[in-house]
Each structure stands twice: as structure tokens, then as C-alpha cells.
Amino acid sequence: MSAPPIRTLLVDDEVLARLAIRQALASHPDVEIVGECGNAVEAQQAIRALDPDLLFLDIRMPGMDGFKLLHGLKRETAPMVVFATAFGQHALRAFDADAIDYVLKPIDQERFDQAMARVRRHWQGQHALPASPRATAPPPSPYLQRLSVQHGEHIRVIPVDDIDWLRADGNYVHIRAGTASYLHRESLRQLLASLDPSRFLRIHRGIVVNVERIREVHPLFQGSAEVVLRDGTRLNLSRRFRMQARRALGMA
């Protein structure tokens, strides 16, 4: 997204000085001059009315000077400021006032362009979009991340990552998670449909195992096998689900 034009107000009591800034700005098409003011009081009114993005501000002006004008503005809503003055001794004070730059009159185009480059960097930084969470964050998983089960008088919330294996028991499922066991009222088929198939593997008509928990597979007679989990639990791998397990576990 490109930054919008920089709406700019020129504040100087000298007409020729304002003209010189206009001419210097002619080579910066991203700047829109919204007004000119001959003194600080006019500038206060113009800032309220026009809400410019940038001020080219003289310091020494009849009545209120440029610093007093800035002092009266709310810092959080004040426009960017480039001081344009014939006096170099105010430079440090200008930067203390958070000026973007400080150019001396008569205007030198190369030095002026450097100041505008600083303005432009600041302006573009103000309008840079933060990284979109939608663009950077992974899409939400369509699969179940937590499971709530009845546990005594309470409801226990179990992250599915903590589940070691599941066993069907009619309309219930036995859930094993570490040293804890739970009985959940839902069929294994229904629960399996909500689990990530890349993480949970059906190894038997009534058994589903967390793939990350599998340590070994022990072949047995007649094409069946036994799955050994990291905690030593042994579960049957039936012939019906052997090929599915081989693919999931990268078995040759």
C-alpha cells in the first residue's frame, strides 16, 4: 500500500521564502501544498482547519515564533515539521522539538531533497501496515484441539496432544493420557472423525493411537502385529489396518 500525498502547509512571513519552498517542492509530486501562512497565528488557525501532514516552518516571524507555535500543538497530533530558516544557531533546539529536519535559506535544492527524503521515510513509516495476522498466522486447524470429558464431579479438558491412545467400548471411548484414564460418552467412530488423521492412527477396529507415542512395531504371526508405545503399552495392529499403519509410519 503506497502512502497518501503529504499535505503540506508553508509558514513564513516572507512571500519570496514561501515561493522558494514551493519551487523546491515542485520536484516532489507526492507533496500537496494545502496552504500558506504569513505568521504563526494564521498557522494555528490553518493547522486546525486543514490538518496538514507537514509544516515548512520559519523560526523568526513577527509575534509568535516557530517554536512557540509548535509548543502550542498537541505532540501526538502535530504534523511533521521541517524548519526553514536563515539562522543556523537554532538547529539543536529544532531537533529537540522533534523536527524532521532543518534547512537553511536560501534553499539549496540538494539539501532540500535530503530533508524531503527524511520526511518521506517518516511518512511511509507512519503508513506502513502491520503484518496481517491473517497473512502470517497459520489457518486454524479444522480438527479437534481439546476434548472435554466428565471426570468425577468435574469436566476435565484434555489437549488432544496429551492423548496416548483410545479404545472403543460401545457408545463410550476409553481415553488414555499419561497415567490418567477417562471414559468419554461418544463412539470411537464419531470421535475419530474429529481428530487429525496425520496424528491419530487407527490400528484396530476398536483402537486408535497417537502416532507420536509409537516406539516400535513387532510383527506377529499371520500378518498381524503389535504396536509398542513409548510407555511400554502394547496394542494390537490388525491385518485390516496394517497397510494404513505402514504408510503412516514410513515402514518399507
Q: What's the pLDDT score for residue 211?
A: 94
Q: What's the pLDDT score for residue 57?
A: 94
Q: What's the pLDDT score for residue 9?
A: 95
User: DSSP 3-state assignment of 189?
Assistant: helix
Q: What's the pLDDT score for residue 106?
A: 93
First-to-final CA distance of the chain: 51
Which structural domains are found in the chain, ordered by start? 6-127 (3.40.50.2300), 158-249 (2.40.50.1020)
The closest alpha carbon to 11, from 28, 33, 45, 36, belongs to 36
The closest alpha carbon to 186, from 219, 226, 158, 214, belongs to 158
CA atoms within 13 A on the CB side of 173: 24
Do residues 54 and 29 make contact, with C-beta atoms less than 8 angstroms apart? no
Q: What's the pLDDT score for residue 1?
A: 52
Q: What's the pLDDT score for residue 219?
A: 86
pTM over cut 0.95 = no
Q: What's the pLDDT score for residue 147?
A: 86
Q: Which residues of the chain have pLDDT under 50?
A: none
Q: What's the CA angle centered on 98, arms 92 and 102, to 5 degrees?
A: 55
Q: What's the pLDDT score for residue 129?
A: 57
172-208: per-residue pLDDT in tens? Answer: 899 999 999 999 988 888 888 889 989 999 998 899 9
